[in-house]
Amino acid sequence: MKLSVVIPVYNEAKTIQALLAAVNAVDLPGLEKEVVIVDDCSTDGTRDVLEKFVGQQYKIFHQEVNQGKGAALRRGFKEATGDFVVIQDADLEYDPEEYPILLGPLRDGRADVVFGSRFVGDRPHRVLFFWHYVGNKVLTIFSNMLTGLNLTDMETCYKAFTRGALQAILPELQSNRFNIEPEITARVAKKKLRIYEVGVSYSGRTYADGKKIGWKDGFSALWSIVKYNLFA
């Protein structure tokens, strides 16, 4: 059995090396790891850092033009060959040590898709950005209204899939930017896949640290919730 870790990367020269070390350190008995990295035309030296890993156990791809997280994920999904697939951001906000928690419901056959929620459970969370929290809750509730799900964290990075579940939605995925999150949620809901949610920790970044998502992405997500649930 194999786990594919798909990592979209854009201007993460400061964190990508530590992130890859953390991914490599995760012990997953019975699972081989495949790490698929898609650099979205970084301009901060990330590509130079990744060149150090060419020829090692990584599958590294470079987008020729910056297209966004969604486009990088769609490329990574197409290249992944694992029985399970997990999304991993490169910014160290999410801890790879929690892969066993994400994979539990998949490996025991209860789930097709698992969302790692930052808002359930007792794992540690850095305290930041009240209005981001409110915006996330509004987007999640609005998404739930149209999908019929009861998720607590639709916008989470940590989403894990069985290969069959991912292949069921991959041909339909269209989003290029951060709106890939509500689109994935809408697609898995429409396919009536078995969805579980588990609590994960969160070490959020400030904008000074390099956080990229902003208020414009919130409006884009609102439209995407409508679009992918009602019209696509």
Examine the pLDDT at 211 and tell me if it is beyond 90.
Answer: no
Q: Which domains does the chain have, with CATH numbers?
A: 2-231 (3.90.550.10)
Please state, in angstroms and as integers, the Cα–Cα distance from residue 96 to each residue in 121, 199, 225, following that order. 17, 13, 28
In angstroms, the CA 9 to CA 223 distance is 25
For the packed helices 215-226 and 130-147, what is the interaxial angle rounded to 10 degrees? 10
According to the model, what pLDDT value does residue 128 have?
Answer: 77
In angstroms, the CA 221 to CA 19 distance is 27
Which of 25, 168, 36, 145 shows the shortest CA–CA distance to 90? Answer: 36
Asked whether the beta carbons of 194 and 168 are under 8 A apart, the reply is no
Rounded to the nearest 10°, the torsion over CA 174, 180, 182, 186 is: 40
pTM above 0.85, yes or no: yes
**Tens of pLDDT along 161-202?**
999 999 999 999 999 999 999 999 999 999 999 999 999 999
Examine the pLDDT at 210 and tell me if it is beyond 70.
Answer: no
Mean pLDDT of the region 44-59: 92
Tokens of 61: 């791809």
Asked whether the beta carbons of 39 and 113 are under 8 A apart, the reply is no
